[in-house]
Chains A and B, each alone.
Chain A
Amino acid sequence: MAETVRMTTLVEQGMALVGERNDLRRRLENTRNRLQDPSVRVIVVGEFKQGKSQLVNALVNAPVCPVDDDIATTVPTVIRQGDPASAVVLVPSADGPTPDAGLEGDSGGPEGGLERQPVHLDQLAEYVSEKGNPGNAKKIVAAEVLLPRKLLAGGLTVVDSPGVGGLGSTHTLTTLTALPSAHAVVFVSDASQEYTEPEMRFLRQAMRISPNVVCVLSKTDLYPSWRQIAELDRKHLADVGPGIPLFPVSSELRLQAARLQDTELNAESGFPALIAHLRNNIVGEAARIQRRSVGHDLLSVTENLRLALQSELGALENPEGTPQMIAGLKAAKEDADQLRKRSARWQITLNDGIGDLIADMEYDLKDRLRRIQREAETAIDHGDPGPAWEQFTQWLEQSTAAAVSDTFVWTSERAQWLATQVADHFSEDEVALPALKVSDTGGVLDPVADIQMMEDGRLGPLQKVLIGMRGSYGGVLMFGLLTGIFGMALINPLSVGAGLLLGRKAFREDKAARLKQRQSEAKILVRKHVDDVVFQVGKQLKDRLRLVQRATRDHFTEIAEEHHRSLAESVAAAQKAAATYAVERDMRIKDIRNQLKGVDALSKAAQQVQEDQSLENQPNQAPSAVPAG
Chain B
Amino acid sequence: MEPGIAGAWELLRQARDVFHDDAAALAVVADLQDRLEGPLRIAVAGMVKAGKSTLLNAIIGEEIAPTDAGECTRVVTWYRYGHTPKITLYPFTGGPRTLPVTREDGRLVFSLGDVQAGVVERLVVDWPAASLRDLTLIDTPGIASLSQDVSGRSTAFLLPEDAPMAADAVIYLMRHLHASDVRFLESFKDTAAGQSGTVNALAVLSRADEIGAGRIDSLISAAVIADRYSRDQSLRPLALGVVPVAGLLAQSSRTMRQSDVEAMKQLAQMDKNHRERLMLSADRFVRVAGPEGLDQDMKASLVQRFGLFGIRLAVALIRGGTTDPTELAHELARRSGLGRLLDTIEYLFQTRADALKARAAVVGLQSLLGVAPTGRTASLEAALERLQTGAHEFRELKLLAALRTGGIGIGPEQTAEAERLVGGRGSTVALRLGLEPDASAGHISEAARDCLNRWRLIAENPLTDPSGLEACRVVIRSCEGMLAAMPAVR
Contacts and interface: CB of A to CB of B under 8 A. Distances in A.
B179 A167 contact: yes
Interface stretch (B206-214, B348-356, B428-436): B206-214
A306 B113 CA distance: 78
Please classify the interface of chain A as helix (H, G, I), strand (E, B), loop, or mixed, using the class held by over half of its residues: loop
Contact of B207 (A71, A192, A225, A228): A192
A220 interface: yes
A229 B176 contact: no
A222 B210 contact: yes
A221 interface: yes
B71 A194 contact: yes
A448 to B, nearest CB: 24
Given A194-B71, A268-B284, A200 B146 contact: yes
Contacts of B280: 221, 252-253, 256, 265
Contacts of B406: 387
Nearest to A511: B466
B47 A196 contact: yes
Interface string A36-53: 000000000001110000
B182 interface: yes
B23 interface: no
Contacts of A236: 146
Contacts of B179: 165-167, 169, 198
B13 to A, nearest CB: 39
Contacts of A69: 211-213, 218, 221-222, 224-225
Contacts of A219: 213
A167 B221 CA distance: 19
Contacts of B283: 220-221, 224, 268
Given A198-B178, A222-B308, A167 B234 contact: yes
A253 B278 CA distance: 12
B281 A253 contact: yes
A193 interface: yes
Contacts of A461: 463
A70 B146 contact: no
Contacts of B257: none
A232 interface: yes
A165 B178 contact: yes
Contacts of A48: 176
Given A165-B178, A198-B144, A229-B69, A224 B213 contact: no
B176 to A, nearest CB: 5
A469 to B, nearest CB: 13
Contacts of A200: 146
Contacts of B328: none
B254 to A, nearest CB: 20
A391 B71 CA distance: 35
A252 B146 contact: no
Which bucket holds chain A's interface residue count?
35 or more
B281 A221 contact: yes
B304 interface: yes
A222 B214 contact: yes
A215 to B, nearest CB: 15
B286 interface: yes
Interface in A413-438: none
A69 B286 CA distance: 26
B281 A252 contact: yes
Nearest to A47: B178
A197 B286 contact: no
A223 B69 CA distance: 9
Nearest to B142: A196
Contacts of B307: 222
A464 interface: yes
Contacts of B213: 69, 219, 222, 252
B233 A391 contact: yes
B145 A196 contact: yes
Q: Which 5 A-B pairs have the closest CB atoms?
A: A221-B281, A193-B49, A225-B69, A69-B221, A224-B282
15 contacts: A49-B211, A165-B178, A196-B48, A196-B146, A200-B146, A221-B283, A222-B213, A222-B282, A224-B282, A224-B286, A224-B304, A232-B70, A250-B281, A256-B280, A265-B280
Interface of A: 47-49, 69-71, 165-167, 169, 192-198, 200, 219-226, 228-229, 232, 236, 250, 252-253, 256, 265, 268, 387, 391, 461, 464
Interface of B: 47-49, 69-71, 144-146, 151, 175-180, 182, 207, 210-214, 218, 221-222, 224-225, 228, 232-234, 280-284, 286, 300, 303-304, 307-308, 406-407, 463
